[in-house]
Structure 1
Amino acid sequence: MTKQHIEVITSVERRRHWSREEKERLVAAALEPGTVVSDVARSAGIHVSQLFRWRKELCQISAPSVPQHQPLNRESERYAREGIDLSLSTLADQVGACTAVLKPLHGLIEAHVLAAERIHGDDTTVPILAKGKTNTGRIWSYVREDRPFGGTSPPAALYYASRDRLQEHPEGHLKTGILQADAYGGYNPLFKAERHSGPLTQALCWAHSRRKFFVLADIATNAKRGKNATPISPVALEAVKRIDALFDIERNINRLAASERLARRQQDSCRLVEELEAWMRTERTKLSRSSPVAEPIDYMLKRWEGLTSFLDDGRICLTNNAAERALRGFALGRKSWLFAGSDRGADRAAFMATMIMTAKLNDIDPQAWLADVMARIADMPTTKLAELLLWNWTDPHPTMALAS
């Protein structure tokens, strides 16, 4: 009689279920430039082939429709009216998959913007949902735009989200260079000589200063007020006229090399700026503290060093309009989506805005770029990812884009 050995299995190890977020995190880590994919797989306790399967899985999710500043629930409703069943959670998954797969490209754009000699900076409010309330969060925008001083580097925009407006955020974002921005006090520590990574150069916006005078000198708008019209300020009119003379010079030197711009400013603008300062100081002595025009004069004189830095560096622009334009989408979006549902939602909005605005700055259709990149990036070696950057990308179906 033959003896049989029977092995009794007392427990079975269950196959681990990986969540979408875990897959996104691991795929994004594996796509980082210089990363060894097998090391990421080994640290997670999976075979390297599993990572590649997840990568394809995330890329096979259709690229999300680039919303016209619409909340995802409204996009879901729009699809439903067209007979397409796409739930809010599915659309959120699409955005999450996109941010995971596109993270390496986002990192390259981030490095490109922060390496700029001069950066336009601005911020705007974005309500972020909290327990029983909403916090007034912030979207910080940084724009690289070298073309005004003859630079050949492509333009790009970068966005970050935060739950507050503390100074630590721009401190963490920016290292060196020129910051073209408004007079937000949180930027001031960036310009101090004792700053550990070195001071940034402050360049303030003349458009902000002009706007304060223009409100007091706008004849057309004031006429519409009828009986409620207020007297036009002759001092404000004169200030606008003098500032506009500087803008006339800037229009003539736009896109010239920085050295040429500086030479023209030294020749033509310096005298006008000196005369403007002397005139404002004289006029200020004639005004009472309660005079409406005293405020814009004081605003400029207190910030004169930052306003006049353009006379010493041809790379500096007279305005911060590039950063203000980059935030218009969020200003429009606030009217539609009201708030971000979480910190992660705000971060994803900032992430996708980086891609979309950089596409627009480079005259690229964001939807066409997203669809093409999501279809190709899974098979793209990390060493060639730069080919998919918006300023290197070419539309494989240009006739289709024109037809649409």
Structure 2
Amino acid sequence: MDENTRLKEENQSLKNRVAWFENQMFGQKSEKRIVENPLQGNLLGVPVITEPEKPAIKKVAEYERGKAKKNRPDDCTTDTGLRFSDEVPVEVINITPPELIGSDADQYKIIDIKITRKLAKLPASYVVLEYHLPVIKKIDSGDVRTTRMPDQVLDSSIADVSLLVGLLIDKFLYHNPLHRQHQKLTHAGITVARSSLTNWVKRSIELLRPIVQAMLNHVLKSKVLAMDETPIKAGRKHQGKMKQAYFWPVYGEDHEVVFTFSESRGQQHIIDTLNHKFSGTLVTDGYAAYARYAEKTDGIIHAQCWVHSRRYLVNAEESSPQEVAVVLEIIGQLYQFEKRIVETKLSGDKKRQYRLENSKPLVDEVFSWLDEQCQRHDLTPKHPLTKAINYLQARETELRVFLADPDVPMDTNHLEREIRPIPLGKKNWMFCWTELGAEHVGLIQSLISTCKLHDINPHTYLTDVLQRVSCHPASKVEELTPRVWKEKFADEPMRSVIYKTVNDVVE
């Protein structure tokens, strides 16, 4: 290779790197592909010829706004579509008509009540609960005793369970950091130290640790387990510099996700989490630590994610648009078959047979296409398409696992969706001051994410569990995990005092 050719390749490689960084900063984040001709029937066949669309005729002058009544769901309480559950307090406001106040009020009578509902919001929903505890004296002995306070979540604390849950939900579900919540308290006329908020959150999450551990034990019993890692800044490395740490979420077959924490991205955390506890199919991205763990561990079948593989092809699309478009279309058809499986609710042997009949020929076609591309002489080692080809060919066995096992998904998208709250949170609370704080983030996020997966209101769940954890048998702690809690306690959850007070007032 002469000097001129080498410089050209190096220049093109640097251009590709710059283009990749520009796309990461300013490009489209969605991985959906825009299909220009949705009627195209096959990849290499004759394209479908369609008639050009006729321009729409606009009638501006004759236009009239639609007056037809919109179809509303049965649970709508107003024509504007307001819907709310029984948990939302309702305050009744009685309006007296002026006709019933004047001198001729006796000329009118009320024959009906028209109800109109409006949605309102208070500046801050903070309430001080004032407990009046009678001090009683026994007449014959003269003994004096004070009525015992009802059990509280945190002993010797001024925080009610409703405030504790509100702090947790606002920070970890809605990503509202504690210093902003402290500002809301101040603006509402309440003076509390910011350190108190941090202490309440820490103590509350510690009470939930055994529940998350029980959930992790159940997740590791899954036959198919998805695992990934995502970075988090945790702990001070030195002044002005935070340490790089990682969450390692694991997703079980019963739709439970647990965010385990580690100070490194090394293989040791995979060993500590899974070793002697999990046996089955491990679905991951292409990070080499998973492959090395699976190779030296008995009872582990390693499956890899098609979406991560596809991204390498997308990165090569600009340099080889025609070639890459062919294989991306084939992968798109694979996902159409997966969509069909979900729509028809196939499972077990029927799902496996469907994949073998429909998906396997396409997978064979993908790897045949890769072998053909390897014969090209114009692909250099640094070419983006070469990197994509090498990535997929090195993982062919792992990418084919889903064809033989109907319980194995094609990708780890279901886990990636649950990771989103971590980067969303980092944009608000940015980092964790200590490693323990990051571990607490993983604990509470595990419960909130699992609640959402099981269609459980996280506020209702945490309010119940924080009050129940002190009296529930430790041997039955699994009953407090969201999956089991939904069956046992969701119908009659424990409420806070303020909830009962508000409902008594409404009634």
TM-score range, shorter chain: 0.7 to 0.9
Tell me the secondary structure at the aligned position of residue 178 of structure 1: strand
For 2:326 and 2:212, locate their aligned partners in 1 and report how far apart those are by CA, in whole Å: 46
2:293 maps to what in 1? 190
For 2:284 and 2:156, locate their aligned partners in 1 and report how far apart those are by CA, in whole Å: 38
2:165 maps to what in 1? 64
1:25 maps to what in 2? none
The letter of the residue matching 2:282 is L
Contact 1:262–1:312 (CA<8 Å) still a contact in 2?
yes
The letter of the residue matching 2:371 is R
2:106 maps to what in 1? none
Task: Determine whether 1:277 maps to 2:361.
Answer: no
For 2:223 and 2:232, locate their aligned partners in 1 and report how far apart those are by CA, in whole Å: 28
Contact 1:359–1:390 (CA<8 Å) still a contact in 2?
yes
The letter of the residue matching 1:136 is Q
1:86–1:323 Cα change, 3 Å: farther
After TM superposition, give the deviation of residue 302 of structure 1 in Å.
1.3
After TM superposition, give the deviation of residue 395 of structure 1 in Å.
5.2
Task: Determine whether 1:237 maps to 2:305.
Answer: no
1:86–1:206 Cα change, 3 Å: farther
Which deviates more from structure 2 when the two are superposed, residues 239-248 or residues 267-276? 267-276
Contact 1:58–1:97 (CA<8 Å) still a contact in 2?
no
After TM superposition, give the deviation of residue 116 of structure 1 in Å.
0.9
After TM superposition, give the deviation of residue 232 of structure 1 in Å.
6.3
The letter of the residue matching 1:281 is D
Q: How does 1:1-400 map to 2 (within 5 A)?
A: 57=155, 61-62=160-161, 63-65=164-166, 66=169, 67=171, 68-130=174-236, 131-132=238-239, 133-144=241-252, 146=253, 154-174=254-274, 175-192=278-295, 194-195=296-297, 198-217=298-317, 233-254=321-342, 255-286=345-376, 287-289=378-380, 290-391=382-483, 392-393=485-486, 394=490, 396=492
After TM superposition, give the deviation of residue 383 of structure 1 in Å.
4.6
After TM superposition, give the deviation of residue 55 of structure 1 in Å.
7.0
1:165–1:386 Cα change, 3 Å: closer
Deviation by residue 1:104-136 (Cα, 9 ceiling, x = unmatched): 222221111111111111111101122322111
After TM superposition, give the deviation of residue 326 of structure 1 in Å.
1.2
Which deviates more from structure 2 when the two are superposed, residues 82-91 or residues 205-214? 82-91
Contact 1:121–1:141 (CA<8 Å) still a contact in 2?
yes
Contact 2:467–2:494 (CA<8 Å) still a contact in 1?
no
The letter of the residue matching 2:314 is F
CA RMSD, Structure 1 to Structure 2 (Å): 2.7
The alignment's TM-score, normalised by the length of structure 2, stands at 0.60
The letter of the residue matching 1:76 is H
After TM superposition, give the deviation of residue 385 of structure 1 in Å.
3.9
Q: Which protein is richer in helix relative to its size?
A: 1
For 2:467 and 2:179, locate their aligned partners in 1 and report how far apart those are by CA, in whole Å: 25
After TM superposition, give the deviation of residue 94 of structure 1 in Å.
1.9
2:87 maps to what in 1? none
Contact 1:127–1:136 (CA<8 Å) still a contact in 2?
yes
After TM superposition, give the deviation of residue 363 of structure 1 in Å.
0.8
After TM superposition, give the deviation of residue 54 of structure 1 in Å.
9.2
After TM superposition, give the deviation of residue 284 of structure 1 in Å.
2.6
Contact 1:72–1:92 (CA<8 Å) still a contact in 2?
yes
Contact 1:233–1:293 (CA<8 Å) still a contact in 2?
no
For 1:179 and 1:347, locate their aligned partners in 2 and report how far apart those are by CA, in whole Å: 23
The letter of the residue matching 1:268 is N
> Unaligned 5+ residue runs, structure 2?
1-150
1:337–1:276 Cα change, 3 Å: same
Tell me the secondary structure at the aligned position of residue 64 of structure 1: helix
The letter of the residue matching 1:161 is F
Contact 1:362–1:390 (CA<8 Å) still a contact in 2?
yes
For 1:212 and 1:260, locate their aligned partners in 2 and report how far apart those are by CA, in whole Å: 32
Contact 2:234–2:244 (CA<8 Å) still a contact in 1?
yes
Contact 2:464–2:494 (CA<8 Å) still a contact in 1?
no
After TM superposition, give the deviation of residue 57 of structure 1 in Å.
2.1
After TM superposition, give the deviation of residue 259 of structure 1 in Å.
2.2
After TM superposition, give the deviation of residue 331 of structure 1 in Å.
0.9
Tell me the secondary structure at the aligned position of residue 337 of structure 1: coil
Contact 1:64–1:91 (CA<8 Å) still a contact in 2?
no
After TM superposition, give the deviation of residue 93 of structure 1 in Å.
2.0
Tell me the secondary structure at the aligned position of residue 139 of structure 1: strand
For 1:85 and 1:124, locate their aligned partners in 2 and report how far apart those are by CA, in whole Å: 37
The letter of the residue matching 2:288 is G
1:397–1:312 Cα change, 3 Å: closer
For 1:348 and 1:398, locate their aligned partners in 2 and report how far apart those are by CA, in whole Å: 24
1:285–1:308 Cα change, 3 Å: same
After TM superposition, give the deviation of residue 285 of structure 1 in Å.
1.8
Tell me the secondary structure at the aligned position of residue 379 of structure 1: coil
Which deviates more from structure 2 when the two are superposed, residues 277-286 or residues 88-97? 88-97
Over alpha carbons, which structure has the higher Rg?
Answer: 2
Tell me the secondary structure at the aligned position of residue 180 of structure 1: strand
After TM superposition, give the deviation of residue 312 of structure 1 in Å.
1.8
After TM superposition, give the deviation of residue 275 of structure 1 in Å.
1.7
The letter of the residue matching 2:225 is I
Contact 2:152–2:160 (CA<8 Å) still a contact in 1?
no
The letter of the residue matching 1:285 is Q
The letter of the residue matching 2:281 is I
Q: Among the aligned pairs, what percent are the same residue?
A: 25
For 1:378 and 1:182, locate their aligned partners in 2 and report how far apart those are by CA, in whole Å: 40
The structure, 1 or 2, with the larger RCO (C-alpha pairs under 8 Å, 6+ apart) is 1
Deviation by residue 1:303-356 (Cα, 9 ceiling, x = unmatched): 111111112211111111011111100011111122111111011111111111
2:68 maps to what in 1? none
